[in-house]
Structure 1
Amino acid sequence: MDGHSIAEVWDRVLGTQPAPPQWIALGSAGLALLAVLPQPVWRITRNVVTIAHEGGHGLTALLTGRRLSGIRLHSDTSGLTVSSGKPTGPGMILTAAAGYTAPSLLGLGGAALLAAGHTTALLWISIALLAGLLIMIRNAFGLLSVVATGAAFFLVSWYGSSELQGAFAYLGVWFLLLGGVRPVAELQRKRRHGGARDSDADQLARLTGVAALVWVTVFLVVALACLGLGGSWLVGPVPPFG
């Protein structure tokens, strides 16, 4: 790639792109629902939410000064992030709280970028985050999941038309916003039946003395707030900071 081509790529990444027709924004929301609601489909697509969930744990651990040992993603859509450091305190609390909120917060950030016209930037930021996550993956299925997801983003961003890039980006953001809600409901259902007693919410309860149900409620409020706000940006006017 010559210098001129590199400059063109950077101009596109840093520049803005026109918003796709509203039917794409609404249609991608419908497709995202179809990727979240039917259980047979969710068993597959939930892996993307797990990537965001465990990535949230890992990134927060690093930002709060903890030492990240590795991340594992499993074929049953569960995951594990191992970090070391002080076993109590704000760093540990924020790290534990980051998992269930990460998909929704990433979706909200993506919605802000799309509403401001930064479709290409969103795709390349996603690739960069996945590349950073890949370094910390410690099992074969996790490597396959992250590489496959990153490859999809790269192929669309590099070879796809502007229309395809817009549709793919909107679909991905809607999926994170909608897919961030369902795992919280699943968590509470498991807890109600006596399962998931070492869940993030239960760990937070032990760390803070605040009931696990309160933390589940916090996760749900964050997810619904991000869905409402991010969804309004995707189908409405550009946010003030765009």
Structure 2
Amino acid sequence: MDTAEFVQRGSTIVDRLSTTQAAPPWQLVVGTGVVALILVLFRPTWRILRNAVTIAHEGGHAFTALLTGRRLNGIRLHSDTSGLTVSSGKPYGLGMILTMAAGYPAPALLGLGYAALLGAHRITLMLWLTIALLLVLLLKIRNWYGLLSLLVTGGVVFAVSWFGSDTTQAALAYAASWFLLLAAVRPVIELQRNRAHEPNSDADQLAHLTRIPGLLWVLTFAAIALCSLVLGARLLLADVSAPQAIVAAGPLQVVR
């Protein structure tokens, strides 16, 4: 790619960030949702793509820590799809509670935000906001696997948004939104299933901080995930209408 083509492509993207894009065909919207559901339910793909959920989860902890005035020390992402976000500040109080509670709702709320942007036909803006968020997280990553995960994820989004056709960009954008909305439910189920073996889970740490039982925190996470899924699906499917059947008919005959 020469300099002129690079500048032209960059100008095109800048223009598209401030404008809306055409709604994709209903087959793409529905198809990406079906594919996302399969990816979440099929265990081999879930083991790989759960890394994206972990990025959103730890990002929720990290951004909430900053918003509540805590000092963000670092983020780690591990090959078993677990993660760790370390922040400094009072080990109690509202800031600590919000930071601890932000992890499990983050993928669902991010997926809902994506759905809102896509419902407003802001496909390019959604993709480049994703790149910006990943770059911010990249500044605080503290291990090699985490660095690789962010670079691969960001690289895919950048490549599609820079080189991909409108259809390819729409496919990635809708697939990402559907995936986060659907995938946000499964870690909550896993959380409750594993609480007996993981006494330091987010729900149990919140129970210690607030005296609210851990099960109620799990139910809260589940409610947020399910409500986000319903609202997000409505936004994504807003422009979808059933294809009109074309029926060839002859002159109307009235039989008496």
Any unmatched runs of 5+ in structure 1? none
Query: Of the candidates 227, 233, 236, which is equivalent to residue 234 of structure 1?
Result: 236
**Letter of the structure 2 residue corresponding to residue 156 of structure 1:** V
Tell me, yes or no, if structure 1 residue 30 matches structure 2 residue 9. Answer: no
Matching of residue 157 in structure 1 with residue 161 in structure 2: yes
TM-score (norm 1): 0.95
Q: Which residue among 217, 221, 225 is the counterpart of 1:219?
A: 221
Amino acid paired to 1:207: L
2:211 corresponds, among 194, 197, 209, to 209
Q: What per-residue deviation string (whole Å, max 9, x for no partner) do you get for residues 163-209 of structure 1?
A: 10001100000000001000000000112xx2121011111111111
For 2:197, the equivalent position in structure 1 comes to 195
- Structure 2 unmatched runs, 5+: 241-256
Work out which of the residue numbers 110, 113, 128 in structure 2 matches 1:109.
113
Structure 2 distance, partners of 1:133, 1:31, is: 27
Q: 1:7: Cα distance to partner?
A: 4.0
Alignment-derived partner of residue 77 in structure 1:
81
C-alpha distance after superposition, 1:129-152 (max 9, x if no partner): 000001111000000000000000
Q: Spell out the pairing of 1:40-119 with structure 2 (5 A cutoff).
A: 40-119=44-123
- Structure with bigger helix share is 1
Higher alpha-carbon Rg: 2
What secondary structure, in the 3-state scheme, does the structure 2 residue paired with 1:69 have?
A: strand
The aligned runs of 1:3-18 (5 Å cut-off) are 6-18=10-22
- Structural RMSD (CA): 1.3
Deviations 1:25-78 (A, max 9, x none): 110011101111011211111011000000110011011100000000000000
TM-score by length of 2: 0.89
Separation in structure 1 between the aligned mates of residue 42 and residue 11 of structure 2, nearest angstrom: 44
- How many residues are paired up? 236
Q: Please tell me whether the aligned partners of residues 203 and 215 of structure 2 are also in contact (alpha carbons under 8 angstroms).
A: yes
